[in-house]
Amino acid sequence: MKILLAEDTKDLSRAVTAVLKHEGYDVDQAFDGAEASGLLNRNGYDIVLLDVMMPEKDGLTVLSEMRDAGDLTPVLMLTAKAEIDDRVAGLDGGADDYLTKPFAMKELLARIRSLTRRQKSYEGEDLKYGDIVLSPSDFSISCMNSVRLSIKEYELMRTFILHSGKELDCSFLTEHVWEGDPDADKDTVFLYVSYLRGKLSSVGSETLISEKDGVYTFR
Q: Is residue 127 pLDDT above 90, yes or no?
A: no
The predicted model gives 144-172 an average pLDDT of 88
Q: Name the strand (E) or helix (H) holding 105.
A: helix 105-121
The pLDDT value recorded for residue 37 is 94
The pLDDT value recorded for residue 8 is 93
Q: What is the DSSP letter of 184?
A: -
Residue 66 binned pLDDT confidence (cut-offs 50, 70, 90): confident
Taking the C-alpha atoms of residue 38 and residue 5, their distance in angstroms, rounded to an integer, is 13
- Domain 2-121: give its CATH code: 3.40.50.2300
Q: What global pTM score does this model have?
A: 0.61
The predicted model gives 34-54 an average pLDDT of 90
Q: How deeply is 187 buried, as exposed, middle or buried, from its count of CB atoms within 10 A (0-12, 13-18, 19+)? A: exposed
CB 28 within 8 A of CB 20: no
Q: Name the strand (E) or helix (H) holding 191.
A: helix 186-202
Strand partners of residue 210 = 217
**Of residues 32 and 164, more confidently modeled:** 32
Q: Is residue 72 pLDDT above 80, yes or no?
A: no
Of 26-35, 122-131, 169-178, the one with minimum mean pLDDT is: 122-131
Q: Helix/strand/coil (H, E, C) string of 52-96?
A: CCCCCCCHHHHHHHHHHCCCCCCEEEEEECCCHHHHHHHHHCCCC
Topology of domain 127-218, CATH: Arc Repressor Mutant, subunit A (1.10.10)
**Of residues 122 and 168, more confidently modeled:** 168
Tell how strand 75-80 and strand 127-129 pair up. Answer: unpaired
Instruction: Tell me the domain boundaries of the chain.
Output: 2-121, 127-218
**HSE on the CB side for 42, CA within 13 Å?**
8
The predicted model gives 175-196 an average pLDDT of 86
Q: How many residues does the chain have?
A: 219
